[in-house]
Amino acid sequence: MTTLLCDHADEAVAGIEDGSTVLVGGFGMAGMPVDLIDALIRQGAEDLTVVSNNAGNGDTGLAALLAKGRVRKVICSFPRQADSWVFDDLYRAGRIELEVVPQGNLAERMRAAGAGIGAFFCPTGVGTLLTEGKETREIDGRTYVLEYPIKGDVALIGAHRADRMGNLVYRKTARNFGPVMATAATTVIAQVREIVETGDLDPETVVTPGIYVDRVVKEADRA
Decide whether 16 or 190 has the Cβ nearer to another protein.
Answer: 190
CA distance 118 to 110: 11
Decide whether 15 or 104 has the Cβ nearer to another protein.
Answer: 104
Strand partners, 48: 71
Q: How far is the CB of 11 from another protein (least distance, A)?
A: 26
Which residue ranges make up the site for another protein (CB under 8 A)?
27-31, 53, 77-81, 87-88, 91-92, 98, 100-108, 110-111, 122-130, 160, 170-180, 207
Q: How far is the CB of 48 from another protein (least distance, A)?
A: 20
Query: Rounded to the nearest 10 degrees, how much is the dihedral formed by the CA atoms of 26, 31, 35, 40?
Result: -20
Give 1's contacts (C-beta < 8 A, 6+ positions apart). Answer: 211, 214
Q: How far is the CB of 44 from another protein (least distance, A)?
A: 28
Residue type present at position 152? G
Q: How far is the CB of 160 from another protein (least distance, A)?
A: 8
| DSSP one-letter code for 203 | G
Helix, strand or coil, per DSSP, at residue 160: coil
Are 27 and 178 within 8 A, CB to CB? no
Helix, strand or coil, per DSSP, at residue 179: helix
CA distance 27 to 52: 8
Decide whether 16 or 178 has the Cβ nearer to another protein.
Answer: 178
Decide whether 27 or 185 has the Cβ nearer to another protein.
Answer: 27
CB atoms within 10 A of CB 150: 25
Decide whether 43 or 98 has the Cβ nearer to another protein.
Answer: 98
Q: How far is the CB of 20 from another protein (least distance, A)?
A: 22
Decide whether 9 or 55 has the Cβ nearer to another protein.
Answer: 55
Q: Provide the pairing of β-strand 120-122 with 97-100.
A: unpaired
Q: How far is the CB of 47 from another protein (least distance, A)?
A: 22
